Structure 1
């Protein structure tokens, strides 16, 4: 009986973890827009240095999103469907890259577009911190990221954990996520302010 009970628990655990991948696929398929507050903690590869920031996130499929960092510095990452812009208000400096070169197998592709199974190898992960997790490993070996993990609370996106190619870790936590809501299209357009240094790649 004990072995049957153990097998039942194992199967239940595997089913729960498989659901995280299904939930991610459903999120990408069914959620066309959204907005949320977010906080981000970036940890150095040796774990000794941490930087915390926060702001607001919005997206509209396909391939339109905006990360507006409000603290500690005013910065924005804006994708308009053609280009991805990064703007630093304090430096009055903007840079842009073509969408095709900038998105690829990135966290933004998971949230705002992209082809999940083309760009990522998806695997369920054990539940932790009250969330169910799916891992997305970029299929491209020359990308900027080693791994991406996406945490859901029920069907709600709650967190993303990213390890980049240098071993730096970024933990994003989303709060008050609203899905399939109207998002102002103007938020996905970026015009460099007068006098800004602009670098186009």
Structure 2
């Protein structure tokens, strides 16, 4: 996927310090209308033995428009205009198209770019780790393949997103060079299949 305890003496301090992480996510959802960043994604198998690393760029414009562009080790593009989601695999010259509401559900892209944060996810505070403040987001609707998401903030800035799927596979996305609230370009969130591509549109 192309998603903890403090010592008793520090418990009250820890709760006070990290209670703001859920509020930070709420503020991010409310105040950040557009964002783009570079990302590195590390996918770890359930037994922790195998890891795959990929990288690329991510951009979104609320509501529900986003663009994931994987660059390494293989190119892949995932684009949504809020109505449809296109997945383009250049190596196979194949494009898959799905309706937005069928493709997203309670997924990381929906969490970051959508408008239904509290409606779609149950939020709770996690202790800080790796220099970040973390929020746990559990999808309210089961069956979408995502078990839990964890969102890490450095101060008020989005820094990481960790996903655990239904099979126990863990995917950590780390963000860099984050820019927010720039003017959205509509063409960024539209996709025209290249000539000769094998196009498969999933029925509703």
- TM over 0.5, shorter chain: yes
1:33 CA displacement? 0.1
The DSSP-based 3-state class of the residue aligned with 2:106 is coil
Deviation at residue 8 of structure 1 after TM alignment: 7.5
Question: Which residue number in structure 2 is paired with residue 3 of structure 1?
Answer: none
| TM-score, normalised by the number of residues in structure 1 | 0.94
| Structure 2: gaps of 5 or more residues | 1-6
Structure 1 stretches lacking a partner, 5+ long: 1-5
Q: Is the 8 A contact 2:62 2:115 kept in 1?
A: no
Distance 1:90 1:142 in 2: 30
TM-score, normalising length: structure 2: 0.92
How is 1:28-177 mapped onto 2 (pairs within 5 angstroms)? 28-177=29-178
Q: Is the 8 A contact 1:17 1:134 kept in 2?
A: no
- How far off is 1:103 after superposition? 1.6
**SS of residue in 1 equivalent to 2:110:** helix
Q: Distance in 2 between matches of 1:164 and 1:7?
A: 32
| Structure 1 residue 140: Cα displacement | 1.0
Could you tell me whether the CA contact under 8 Å between 2:44 and 2:169 is conserved in 1? yes
Q: Distance in 1 between matches of 2:157 and 2:57?
A: 17
Decide whether the 8 Å contact of 1:122 with 1:137 is kept in 2.
yes
Cα root mean square deviation, aligned: 1.3
Contact 1:58 1:183 (8 Å CA) reproduced: no
Aligned residues: 196
Aligned to 1:198: 199
CA contact (8 A) 1:16 1:132 kept: no
